[in-house]
Structure 1
Amino acid sequence: MVKNNVEIDIKVMCIEAGTTQAKLAHEISTTPAYVNRVIRQKETVVNKTFTSMVEALGYDIQLTYVKRTENGQDGDQR
Structure 2
Amino acid sequence: MIKNNIELDIKVKCIEQGTTQAQIAEDIQTTKSYVNRIIKKQDGVVNKTFVQMLEALGYDIELTYVKRKENTEGGLDG
- Please indicate, yes or no, whether the TM-score normalized by the shorter chain is above 0.5: yes
TM-score by length of 1: 0.87
1:22 is matched with 22
For structure 2, the 5+ residue unaligned runs are: none
Max radius of gyration: which structure?
2
Deviation at 1:43, TM superposition (A): 1.7
Q: CA RMSD in A?
A: 1.0
Structure with more strand by fraction: 1
Amino acid paired to 1:33: S
For structure 1, the 5+ residue unaligned runs are: 74-78
1:76 is matched with none
Percent of residue pairs identical: 66
Quote the Cα distance in structure 2 between the aligned partners of 1:43 and 1:34. Answer: 14
Alignment of 1:11-50 (within 5 A): 11-50=11-50
Quote the Cα distance in structure 2 between the aligned partners of 1:42 and 1:8. Answer: 12
Quote the Cα distance in structure 1 between the aligned partners of 2:44 and 2:21. Answer: 18
Q: Does the CA-based 8 Å contact 1:4-1:63 persist in structure 2? A: yes
